[in-house]
Structure formats: structure tokens, C-alpha cells
Structure 1
Amino acid sequence: MTTEQIFEDTPLYTSISPADYTGNSEEWNDVTSHFRNAKEPVKKDMRFYIILGCMFINVFVAALDSTIVATLLPVIADDLQCLPVISWIATSYLLLCAAFQPVFGKFSDIFGRKSVCVFCSVIFSLGCLLCGIGNSFIVLVIGRAISGIGGGGFNTMSAIVLSDLVPLNQRGLFQGYVNIFFGIGSAMGGVFAGFFQKYFNWRLAFIVQVPICLISGILTFLYLNVEKGEEAETVEESLKSKVGKVDFYGSTVLVSSIFILMFAASIGGKSIPFQSIQFIVFVGAGLIGLIHFYYFEKGISNPVIPVKLLKNKTIFWSSLGCWVLSMNTYCILLYVPFFWESVLNLSSYESGVRLIPGSIFAIIGSIGAGLYIKKYKKYKKLLLISTFVNSIGSFLIFLSSDKKKSFYTNSLILIPGQFGMTSIITIILIAMISSVNHSEHGLVTSIQYGFRSTGSTLGVSVASAILQSSLRKNLVNNFKDIGKNEDVIQKIIEKALLDTTYAFNKAPEFAKQLIISSYYSACQDVFKFIVFTSLVTVICSFFIEENKL
């Protein structure tokens, strides 16, 4: 195939391998440059729109499931009597998502985009089905964990497939479209779950996702033809040959190390003290595993993640920025509704509805960032502005009072953070993929999503530890000198720790305001952590370089 034939006959969304080209290396560079920097609009046929729709659906349900339990935590805790360990329903999903997400990029290079996308659809559906039909806390956690593997793949693969379908100068706009569905899914998780809880049953919120994901997987199987990743030069390559290219050892070390660290973060300060030997051993094992992974990957020719990429200044600071931004985002989406329900006595449905205005501005921020990048082909100034807007939103949340406010007042405090968050996500991904060669786009995307998922898991775990520790301390201090029988006070404290609605439904009159005050102070401590992560995101943005688009 000659240069002219490639330019004339090949749609922009079709992967091209050097094996397809018979010219010299200099002309091949012209070909790859054309596909990376094409100025013409993307060819939009029916197949393109179908795949685009599937990727949007996948991102939506993955984001939805990351926050779907936000308004269900009190309901599930009361139903299953599991408030002390309730965070596992959220963190089990995020934990497996974080552990497996970094490897999907390399796996899709080896086995093809289609195979990995279909696998993610099947595994995600299986997890949702278990959550819907399971009748115990353990089954629910296992189902959430299985869904987390598929959800991590959905996030990574959507970005990788779009990199195959869309030239770089339009990538920001299409990433903006993806972030719309990500933002809506994240914000609508509470509304979605609250609706089913109010009118049907909370289990149905998981079951209805099963046919949606299976249909997406079938359409992807039928219409996605972007099969030639970096390693898979032909679709017909034998399965044995593909399996032989997998860095199983490196993948196992990476997944295990991330899992151990996230597990330590999930139980630290709750099941075991931070200063305990068990916690230190978990953290030490995870860190040693990551260090070993780094040096092992440097010495092999076909690494699951080229760790040398982290030496790139833009990739390093972008990854760190994604990490702390994810902490910020998921703490907001999980613990602001928790604050509304435990302190302001709002229902799960009322809390979910109050998330809607923020999701609308998330759409505006995402599309606005994409349009800005497409028009001006720059992003640094907008990145700095977006991080400052996000930090303002975090401060507004911290300033929330314990007085019940109107729908509009509660909703408005989420708007700056959501607007800034989606804009930042769009910009950071463009900054990362513009700093490497096209052949490394999938790997860089996996790195970014790996940091995002570990950040979200760690953020929720740290916030949960802060909440539980602060809540117990506040309850003890508030009830210390009220002149009541100690056994009665101890029972009230234990019930308040197990049931977020206890203060409004069953608590003695003298204890109600003391319990509410304790929950308010505990939430304020979580909100301080949210402010801290927003400020770190601002700092990271100053070190991200402006690359030529």
C-alpha cells in the first residue's frame, strides 16, 4: 500500500500498521503524521455512530456504578445492618477498578480492542446481576468487585477506542462528549438509585443495567473493527501467539501491589489502626511490589506499562493531578449526599435530585473545554482556570451549614466543582496523549485511568476513615457530661454509629441534636480533606507543559 493509497482509501478511524505499507520510513512518518494531525472532519458513517454510542453507554454505566450507592448507603446499611463496613460496597467496586485498569491498554494492544471491550461488557453484566439477586452483604460486595473489573475496562477502552477513531486535533472535543456521559453517570448515580429505592427496590437499580451492557457488548462485537493494536499486527494472529506476548508476571505484580495498597487504605483506621503492625505490613508489601514492578518493567522488551513514560514531566504531573482530582470528585459525590441525609434529614431521592444541577454544569465544562482546545489548540491557561474553579467549589462545600437549605442552595454549591472537574479531566488527557507518539496513546491512557481509579478508591477510603474516627470521637465528647446513665449513653452511641437515621427516628429527645451535631462535625472533617485535594490539583496544573496539538 502506497502513501497515496492510504490517504485516498483509508478512513481516519481505521488503524494502519507499518506492515501495510511498502514505502520507505520517511514516507511512513508522513502517513502517521497525517493520521495523528488530520485537519479534515472524522468520517461519520453508521458504524462510527454505533461504536461511539456504545462507548458513551459504557462510560455512563461505569460512572453510574461508581456513585450508585451514594444515596443507598444508609438504606443498605439499615437493610443489612452493616454500617461499620458499609464503605466496602463502594470501595469494592473502586478497588478492583483501580487494580485492573492499568493493564487494559496493553491487553487491547495484544488481543484487539473488540475482544477486550466485549469481555468488559460480559464481566460488568455478571457483577450487576450478582448485586441484584444476592441476598447477603458478602455477595453484594463480590458482585460490586466483579463489576469494578468491567467498569475499569469501560473507562480505559472508551478513551483508547476514541484515540483510534478520532484525530488528535478533534480528540479534546470527543473527550468532552465522553466526559458528559461520565459526569452525568457520576452525578445521576444517586438519582438513579434513589428512584428505584423509592418506587421499586434498590436491587433493581443493578439488574436493569445487565441488558443494557449486554446489548452494548453485542453491538461492539458486530461493528468495532479497530483491531490492530500496537502488538496485534493481524486479526488472524493465533491466540497462543497473543497470549505469549502478555507480560503475566508484570501484570500480576502490578495488580497485586495496587490491590494491597488500596485494601490497606480501605481498612486502615477502621478495621485496624493506622499504627498497627498489620497496616504497616500491607502498605510495605504494596510499596515493595510497585518498586519491584518499576525495575522489572525497565528491563524487559514488552512491558505491560512502559514506566519510562513517567519520566515525561507532563505525564507525571498530569497523572498526579488526576490522582488527587479523583479523590476530590468521589469524596464529593459520596459524602455530600451523606451529609444531606445524615445531617439535614433529606431522603435518598431528594439528595439525588440535588445532584442534577452540578451534572448539567459538568456537561458545560466538558464540552466547553473540548471546543476551546479545538479552536485555539492550547490548553494550559484553561487548565489553570479550571483547577481554581474546582477549588472554589470545594471551599463552598466546606462552608455548608447544618441548617436545612432550599433545593437551589444545596445544589448551587456543587456547580463550580463539577464544572471544573470535567474540564480538568478533558484537558489533562489531551496533555498526556499529545506528549507521546501515537503508538503509545493506549498505554498513556491506561496510566491516566489507573491513577484516576486508584485516586478515587484511596479518596473514598481515606474519607471513610476520617468520618468513622471523627464521628465516634464527636459522639463520645458530646455525650460526656450530660448526666445520664453510662450504659444508656453507650447504647445510644452504638446505635448512632450503626444507623444514620437514628437521630431522626428512634433516638431519645435529649440525644437527637447531639447526634446530628456529631455527624455534622464528622462531615466537616471530610470536607477539609476535599479542600486539601483541590489545592494539590491546582499545584499540579502549574507543572503540566503546553504541547503542540
Structure 2
Amino acid sequence: MNLGTKQIGIVLIPSIIACSVSSVLSGLYMKWTGKYLLFAIVFSVIGCFGILLLIVRTYPFDLLVIPARFELYYLVVIPYFSYAVILTVTLLSLIASVPIESQSAVTSIQYAFRGMGSTAGASVSSFVFNYNLKNLLVSKLTEHRPDDFSDEKLEKLIYTAVHNADFIHSPEAPSWSVHYLVESYGISCWSTFVFSFAMSVLCLFTVFLIKEYKLHSTIKRK
């Protein structure tokens, strides 16, 4: 869609707000009800459907589905909302499951695993994106290049496109290649959404393994 960095940042503002608000609201809900298991299951399901909607509305093959500009403001809001809820629920469920003297330790453990999981997930997603991008660029550009486009030019085109997404809409990009460059980037991004959906489904299964303990509103417990 040829959006600049500033425009992409503006598009993500609703998602950032939703992430913050959902964490606060989920904390208030759990304080009010003292429960969290069904709440976590419901929002895990909502998160899965949110990513599924993102996958459907960004189907990239042949560029047949291109979301409208206004859709960019809400397509990732639901996954962000669900993500923040699950983070809050898992932290409080861990704290509720141990004695008071162990709560600081279990909080540290939760942040440790959260950090490792986020790093591993981002690393795998990055690998999926880059692996698909390189293979797609090689196959699509090789297949559709004009007869007078040399191997040296093709190699330079692929290298530049892999390392600089802004090149796609620049005057230096050959006109015949733009469609295939956009499609390759689209499929590569889409593949990371599919990976995220698979992880969200696994997350949903693990939520069912959580044991619910009563959340107490004071230090003194009965």
C-alpha cells in the first residue's frame, strides 16, 4: 500500500491503546469476580478468530485481496487485545497458585518465560518471513523477467529487494517486477500470520491446562 514509517505508526496507534486498556480492564474484571479461567479461554478464542480474520483479509496470492485503508486500523486490534489479556491472566494465575512468600519468585519466572517465548517467537517469525521472501523473489522474478534482463541484473534486483522494502515503489525498481515484489512480500508477511495463528491455537490448548484458584483482594486469606 506504499505507506511510510510514520503512516504505519499512526495505523498501529489503536492497537497500542487496545493493548494497554485490555490489560487494565482484565485486571479490574478479575479483581471484581475473583475468577479468570473462563475469561482466559474466551479471550484466547477471540484472539484466534482475530488472527484468522487478519489472515483472510490479507490473502496475498496474485494480490486478489487488498484490505481497505480503514481496515488497517482494526485488523490487529483483536489479536493485541487478546494478547494483553492472556499476559495479565497468566501472571495473576501464577501468583494465585503459590503461597505469599513465593509470589515474587513466580513473578520473576513468568517474566523469564515471557521473555524467552517472545524472543523465540520473534526469531522463528523472522526466519519464516526471510526464508519465504528469498525463495519467492528468486522463483517469481526468474520466471517473469524479460528476455533482455541479464542474470547479473536479476541477482542485484533480488538482493536489493530483500534488504530494502522501500525499493519496491522507488523509480529504480523495474516496472515489470513491482507486482511480483509486492506479492512476494505479501506472501512472506502472510506466512508469519499463519505461524502466529498456529501459536495462538497452541496457546488456547495450554489455557485449558490452567487451574483456577480464588483471587483474594487482601493479603489476609481465609
1:503–1:513 CA contact under 8 A, matched in 2: no
Q: Percent identity?
A: 28
Runs of 4+ in 1 over 3 A off after TM superposition: none
Deviation at 1:494, TM superposition (A): 1.1
Correspondence for 1:534 among 194, 197, 200: 200
Tell me the equivalent position of 1:492: 157
**Distance across 1 between alignment mates of 2:23 and 2:127:** 32
**Distance across 1 between alignment mates of 2:211 and 2:46:** 20
**Distance across 1 between alignment mates of 2:184 and 2:80:** 28
Could you list the per-position Cα deviations for residues 391-442 of structure 1 after superposition, in whole angstroms to 9, with x for gaps in the alignment? 1221122223353621x31011112112111111111111101111111111
**Distance across 2 between alignment mates of 1:481 and 1:429:** 51
Deviation at 1:498, TM superposition (A): 1.6
Correspondence for 1:415 among 46, 70, 77: 77
1:31-42 equivalences under 5 Å are none
2:37–2:210 CA contact under 8 A, matched in 1: yes
Q: Establish whether residue 346 from structure 1 lines up as the match of residue 11 from structure 2.
A: no
Deviation at 1:547, TM superposition (A): 0.6
Tell me the equivalent position of 2:16: 359
The number of equivalent residue pairs is 205
Tell me the equivalent position of 1:319: none
Tell me the equivalent position of 1:369: 26
Could you list the per-position Cα deviations for residues 368-411 of structure 1 after superposition, in whole angstroms to 9, with x for gaps in the alignment? 211221111111110101111111221122223353621x3101
TM-score (structure 2 length as normaliser): 0.87
1:345–1:504 CA contact under 8 A, matched in 2: yes
**Distance across 2 between alignment mates of 1:360 and 1:494:** 37
1:357–1:412 CA contact under 8 A, matched in 2: yes
**Distance across 1 between alignment mates of 2:28 and 2:188:** 40
2:44–2:203 CA contact under 8 A, matched in 1: yes
**Distance across 2 between alignment mates of 1:375 and 1:495:** 55
Letter of the aligned partner of 1:446 in structure 2?
A: S
Q: Establish whether residue 514 from structure 1 lines up as the match of residue 174 from structure 2.
A: no
1:358–1:414 CA contact under 8 A, matched in 2: yes
Structure 2 gap segments, 5+ residues each: 216-222
Letter of the aligned partner of 2:168 in structure 1?
A: A
Could you list the per-position Cα deviations for residues 457-479 of structure 1 after superposition, in whole angstroms to 9, with x for gaps in the alignment? 11111111111110110011102
Q: Specify whether residues 352 and 439 from structure 1 end up closer, same or farther in structure 2 by C-alpha distance, changes over 3 A only.
A: same
Correspondence for 1:470 among 121, 132, 142: 132
Tell me the equivalent position of 1:385: 42
Secondary structure class of the residue paired with 1:374: helix
**Distance across 2 between alignment mates of 1:502 and 1:412:** 27
1:200-279 equivalences under 5 Å are none
Could you list the per-position Cα deviations for residues 89-115 of structure 1 after superposition, in whole angstroms to 9, with x for gaps in the alignment? xxxxxxxxxxxxxxxxxxxxxxxxxxx
Tell me the equivalent position of 1:430: 92
Secondary structure class of the residue paired with 2:98: coil
**Distance across 1 between alignment mates of 2:43 and 2:113:** 19
2:57–2:67 CA contact under 8 A, matched in 1: no
Deviation at 1:356, TM superposition (A): 1.2
**Distance across 1 between alignment mates of 2:129 and 2:80:** 23
**Distance across 2 between alignment mates of 1:515 and 1:377:** 51
Secondary structure class of the residue paired with 1:480: helix
1:495–1:502 CA contact under 8 A, matched in 2: yes
Letter of the aligned partner of 2:82 in structure 1?
A: G
Letter of the aligned partner of 1:477 in structure 2?
A: S
Deviation at 1:364, TM superposition (A): 3.4
Correspondence for 1:546 among 212, 217, 221: 212
Deviation at 1:516, TM superposition (A): 1.0
2:137–2:158 CA contact under 8 A, matched in 1: yes
**Distance across 2 between alignment mates of 1:390 and 1:481:** 38
**Distance across 2 between alignment mates of 1:426 and 1:456:** 15
1:66-465 equivalences under 5 Å are 344-401=1-58, 403=66, 405-406=68-69, 408-465=70-127
Q: Which has the higher contact order (CA 8 A, sep 6+)?
A: 2
Could you list the per-position Cα deviations for residues 309-346 of structure 1 after superposition, in whole angstroms to 9, with x for gaps in the alignment? xxxxxxxxxxxxxxxxxxxxxxxxxxxxxxxxxxx211
Deviation at 1:539, TM superposition (A): 0.4
Q: Specify whether residues 381 and 519 from structure 1 end up closer, same or farther in structure 2 by C-alpha distance, changes over 3 A only.
A: same
**Distance across 2 between alignment mates of 1:439 and 1:495:** 56
Structure 1 gap segments, 5+ residues each: 1-343
Could you list the per-position Cα deviations for residues 466-501 of structure 1 after superposition, in whole angstroms to 9, with x for gaps in the alignment? 111101100111022233322221111111112111
Q: Specify whether residues 421 and 481 from structure 1 end up closer, same or farther in structure 2 by C-alpha distance, changes over 3 A only.
A: closer
Letter of the aligned partner of 2:151 in structure 1?
A: E
Could you list the per-position Cα deviations for residues 194-214 of structure 1 after superposition, in whole angstroms to 9, with x for gaps in the alignment? xxxxxxxxxxxxxxxxxxxxx
2:168–2:182 CA contact under 8 A, matched in 1: yes
Letter of the aligned partner of 1:496 in structure 2?
A: A
**Distance across 2 between alignment mates of 1:367 and 1:455:** 22
